[in-house]
Each structure stands twice: as C-alpha cells, then as structure tokens.
C-alpha cells in the first residue's frame, strides 16, 4: 500500500476512535469529577496499550529508540496532556457536548499555526483559508447568541484545550519515528497519574468503581487507540496534515451527541457547522495535493566576433499533483 494512503487510513482511524470521547465523557461526568475523569481517560490509554505491547503483537513495526534529545518533547507532551483534558472536561461540563465536539476542530488551527511558526512546517494558501474558516466557526460557537453577544464559557475552555493539544501534537510529531505504543504508554501513565494527583490535591471525590472502569475503557479506545494511530500517521503526513484528517472526529462526535444525548440543533450550531465543514473540506483537499519542486538548467548560447559563449541559467518551480505514485519526465 502507498505509505501516504496508509497514513491517511491511520489518521481517519484515530479520528473515529476519538469521536466517542466527548458524548460518552459527558455521561460519565455525572458521577466523576473533572481531574479524576481526565486522569482515568489517560490511565486507561496507558494500561490498554501496555497490555497490547506485552502480547508482543508487533504493532509498532520499525521504530527508532528514544534518546536524551527527545526528553524536552516527552516532558512537554506529558505536561500538556495533563492540562488539556482537564480544560476539555470543564468545557463539556459548562457547555453542550455537540458544541464541544465541533470546537475540537480548532485543534487543526492550533496545530497548523504552531507547526508553521515554531517548527517551520510549510502551510499552503489552501490550508490558510481552511484555518480562517475553522477559526470563524469557532468564534460563532463561542458566542452564546448573536443578540446578546454573550460568551459561552464552556466553549472558551474547549478552545483552550484544543490549543494545548495543538502544541502537544507538534511535540509528539518530533517523536513520531519512535515506538507509537511506548508514546501512548508514557502519555497514559504520566499524564493520567498527574491528573489524578491534581484531583486528590483539590479534594475531588473518588469516583465509584463501575464508573471508573467505564472511564478506563473509554480512555483506551478514545485516547489509547486514537493516539497510537495518530502518531503512526504523523510519521508520514506531518503534524499539520494529520490534524486535518482528524477533523472528522468532531463531526462524528457531534452526531453522537444528538443521537445519544438528545441535544437540540440550534441555528447558531448549523451556521457554525456549515462554516466548519467548508474549512475541513479545504483541509482534506490540501492534504490530497502532493507538492514538490524541480530545478532545471537552461543553456543560452550566442557568439561575439566568431567566439561562442554559453551561459547556464537555473530555475525552480513547484508542481501540484493529486496524491498518488507516478513517474514523469521534464525536458527543456
């Protein structure tokens, strides 16, 4: 299979697994407090992936060992993964599940901007337009209503979570050639235990056993399997483009919110959905275009008084192709 097509499948799988997170977390938050919920989700991811690794299923394929140069990115990944889910759980508590699902697409904006500005990943014009549309959709959802222009505090917390995860995606991108299962285990145990420590220090109530087990299982699917496939996709696609395919998750999550939680469709939500969908389509189109450049040499030959001179000129130009494997010849 073409490595890029395989990476796209991994990215979409990550989106599908994560989509169940918001609506099911909304249900579990009735009996589990914020930091405990965030901790159990990540802990479930770490435990589940450790079990798969112990079964020696060779799920990673070829991967490089960790080095001391990876430590800053590992530390950043863990700290951001402690903060982001707590903000998300807060946003889900104070806002609707459908809004929170859709606002999750702001992670694309944060990931792409950070990848471009800090890590120097190229961002095309098409992707910039998509980012603008997704940002506009987020702004629409962030207001409680056009008449009152009241901020939705739940949406603000979700946007903060998406921004933290955008930075975390770029930290993880630097580790994408390493063992994906080990990355999930590190994230799961350290971020999960960190969140649980915060829960204990803030005197949150210890959740019931049944709800805790449900949160652990949800964490394995929505965080563990999702992160594993996300990391595998990043190795080929990069941070910005992997997050583009991840854009499917909020739409699936929002649909589940309407079906499972019986949330109502509002005019504001439908408008934001249309704008967000347009931005997400542009992101997918941009990802399917394969860009590369060619350098050509040209000889300009002329004569002065019977003496022949040759001047060599070079130029470079970019080509766009749909994502596929091909051979072509350029002659000048």
Taking each helix axis from N to C terminus, what angle separates 248-260 and 267-288, rounded to the nearest 10 degrees? 150
Q: Is residue 328 part of a domain?
A: no
Rounded to whole angstroms, how far apart are CA atoms 67 and 87? 31
Q: Are both 137 and 246 inside the same structural domain?
A: yes
Q: Are both 228 and 315 inside the same structural domain?
A: no
User: pTM score > 0.95 for this model?
Assistant: no
Q: Are both 183 and 84 inside the same structural domain?
A: yes
List the end-to-end C-alpha distance of the chain, in Å, as a whole number: 34
Q: Are the beta carbons of 123 and 115 closer than 8 angstroms? A: yes
In 3D space, the residue among 49, 40, 51, 41 whose CA is nearest the CA of residue 20 turns out to be: 41
Q: Are both 197 and 298 inside the same structural domain?
A: no
Per-residue DSSP letters for 198-253? HHHHTTPPPPPHHHHHHHHHHHIIIIIIHHHHHHHHHHHH-HHHHHHHTTHHHHHH
Q: Is residue 248 part of a domain?
A: yes
Strand partners, 307: 304
Least confident of 43-57, 94-108, 123-137, 291-305: 291-305
Residue 298 neighbours by CB distance under 10 Å: 10
Q: Is residue 331 part of a domain?
A: no
In Å, how far are 38, 74, 123, 193 from 236, measured between CA atoms?
A: 29, 20, 16, 31
Residue 316 pLDDT grade (very low, low, confident, very high; cuts 50, 70, 90): very low
Q: Is residue 332 part of a domain?
A: no
Q: Are both 261 and 310 inside the same structural domain?
A: no
Q: Is residue 171 part of a domain?
A: yes
pLDDT tens track for 13-40: 888 898 888 889 989 999 999 999 999 9
Residues with Cβ within 8 Å of residue 2, at least 6 apart in sequence: 323, 324, 325
Q: What is the pLDDT of residue 300?
A: 47
pLDDT tens track for 72-107: 999 999 999 899 999 989 888 887 777 777 777 778
Strand partners, 143: 151
Q: Are both 271 and 305 inside the same structural domain?
A: no
Residues with Cβ within 8 Å of residue 86, at least 6 apart in sequence: 34, 35, 38, 161, 195, 198
In 3D space, the residue among 161, 163, 167, 179 whose CA is nearest the CA of residue 41 turns out to be: 161
Residue 221: φ, ψ to 5°: -75, -55
Q: Is residue 256 part of a domain?
A: yes
Q: Are the beta carbons of 137 and 282 closer than 8 angstroms? A: no
Q: Are both 99 and 144 inside the same structural domain?
A: yes
Q: Are both 167 and 304 inside the same structural domain?
A: no
Q: Are both 212 and 301 inside the same structural domain?
A: no
- Structural domain harbouring 307: 294-322
Q: Which residue has the higher pLDDT, 211 or 109?
A: 211
Q: Are both 310 and 225 inside the same structural domain?
A: no
Tally of domains within the chain: 2
Compute, in degrees rounded to 10, the torsion defined by CA atoms 316, 111, 228, 155: -150
């Amino acid at each position: 299979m073409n490595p890029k097509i395989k990476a796209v499948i991994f990215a979409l799988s990550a989106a599908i697994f994560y989509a169940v997170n918001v609506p099911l977390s909304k249900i579990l938050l009735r009996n589990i407090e914020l930091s405990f919920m965030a901790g159990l989700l990540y802990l479930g991811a770490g435990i589940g992936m450790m079990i798969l690794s112990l079964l020696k299923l060779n799920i990673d394929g070829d991967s490089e060992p960790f080095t001391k140069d990876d430590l800053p990115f590992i530390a950043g990944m863990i700290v951001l993964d402690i903060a982001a889910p707590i903000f998300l759980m807060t946003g889900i508590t104070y806002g609707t599940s459908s809004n929170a699902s859709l606002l999750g697409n702001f992670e694309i904006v944060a990931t792409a901007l950070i990848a471009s500005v800090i890590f120097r990943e190229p961002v095309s014009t098409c992707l910039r337009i998509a980012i603008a549309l997704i940002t506009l959709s987020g702004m629409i959802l962030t207001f409680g209503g056009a008449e009152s222009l009241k901020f939705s505090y739940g949406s603000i917390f979700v946007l903060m979570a998406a921004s933290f995860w955008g930075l975390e995606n770029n930290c993880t991108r630097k580790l994408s050639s390493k063992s994906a299962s080990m990355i999930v285990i590190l994230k799961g145990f350290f971020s999960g235990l960190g969140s649980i420590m915060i829960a204990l220090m803030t005197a949150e109530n210890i959740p019931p056993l049944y709800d805790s087990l449900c949160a652990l299982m949800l964490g394995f699917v929505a965080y563990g399997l999702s992160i594993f496939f996300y990391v595998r996709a990043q190795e080929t696609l990069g941070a910005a483009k992997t997050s583009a395919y991840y854009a499917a998750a909020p739409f699936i999550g929002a649909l589940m919110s309407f079906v499972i939680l019986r949330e109502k469709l509002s005019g504001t939500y439908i408008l934001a959905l249309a704008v967000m969908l347009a931005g997400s389509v542009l992101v997918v189109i941009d990802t399917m275009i394969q860009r590369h450049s060619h350098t050509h040499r040209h000889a300009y030959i002329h004569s002065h008084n019977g003496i022949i001179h040759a001047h060599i000129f070079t130029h470079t130009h970019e080509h766009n192709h749909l994502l596929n494997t091909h051979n072509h010849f350029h002659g000048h």
